[in-house]
Amino acid sequence: MKQLQGRDLLSIADLTSDELYYLLHLASEFKSGKLSIQCKKVLGLLFYKASTRTRVSFSVAMYQLGGQVMDLNPSVTQVVRGEPIQDTARVLDRYLDILAVRTFKQEDLETFAEYAQIPIINALSDLEHPCQILADFMTIEENFGQLKDITLTYLGDGNNVAHSLIIGGALVGMKIRIATPVGYEPLPSVVEKARKIGGDITITNNPLEAIQGSQVLYTDVWASMGQEDLANDRIPIFQPYQINNMALAVSDPQAIVLHCLPAHRGEEITEEVMECQQSKIWDQAENRMHAQKALLSSLLGLS
């Protein structure tokens, strides 16, 4: 699908439904070994936040595509000394073929995209985590053979992952239920955007109601990166939204459990559920690499 070549991915909403499904198909082709590509491209990783899965999956994906990776740690670049984003973007544009940025403000990603001609990928911002959702949907499709009309319930903080699930779910026809404590709901603007696409979105403060009959149970940490000082205060507020055996009991009998990781076992998810047969968390983590490979090869015009 050559129309993806040279584009940015700052939000899951940057994709059409057909393009999202194309990336999932491509990821499956890479995972099965049916597709192999060799290139001489260079991916830059500029991460202002800590990362395990995103950093490693992008790196391995690029290496397996035959390219190279430059890990541009902000602490050892001029970024740490206050070089403006627009200057950094224009210089990296002359050296790299593609750049993945993990940052706080969505506006910073938009500045990179404005001043660099190479594709810019949102490797996580406070607003969205589009690359995670590609792996999530790949995992769901592997287990149910489809995405349309699948009901996914997300329990916890209405954060960046919840935002991308809401929009991505609208693109593929999934039913998305978001259950959060009062005051922690996802941004109304994101929900409105998804509903304009045609999304079936439910926002509720009742976790038990949201879980009923759901085929996918999904959670994330209760305090995102940069909010660690709030973690202890949030535990009693979020406790009713934990994924545990009781939650599994009222969901669909064939339900699967997902978590974008890292997990705080005993908080948002119990040890038993993390390790149970219905947990597809490790498949989900592996699929980050395959989804990243599909995304990189598409934006670089290799597939």
Q: What residues are labeled active site?
A: 102, 129, 132, 220, 260, 288
Q: Are the CB atoms for 244 and 270 separated by under 8 Å?
A: yes
- Report pLDDT for 230: 74
- Report pLDDT for 1: 60
What are the pLDDT tens digits along the chain (303 aa)?
668 999 999 999 999 999 999 999 999 999 999 999 999 999 999 999 999 999 999 999 999 999 999 999 888 889 888 899 999 999 999 999 999 999 999 999 999 999 999 999 999 999 999 999 999 999 999 999 999 999 999 999 999 999 999 999 999 999 999 999 999 999 999 999 999 999 999 999 999 999 999 999 999 999 877 677 777 889 999 999 999 999 999 999 999 999 999 999 999 999 999 999 999 999 999 999 999 999 999 999 998
Domain 132-284 homologous superfamily, CATH: Aspartate/ornithine carbamoyltransferase (3.40.50.1370)
Bond preceding residue 119 cis, omega within 30 of 0 = no
d(CA 15, CA 111): 19
Residues of the chain with CATH 3.40.50.1370: 2-128+288-299, 132-284
pTM of the predicted structure, to 2 decimals:
0.96
- The yes/no answer on whether domain 2-128+288-299 falls in CATH 3.30.365.10 is no
Distances (CA, A) of 265 to 84, 217, 233, 242, 270: 39, 16, 17, 10, 5
Find how far residue 60's CA is from the centre of its chain: 17
CB atoms within 10 A of CB 221: 24
Residue 71: CA count within 13 A, CB half-sphere: 14
- Report pLDDT for 91: 97
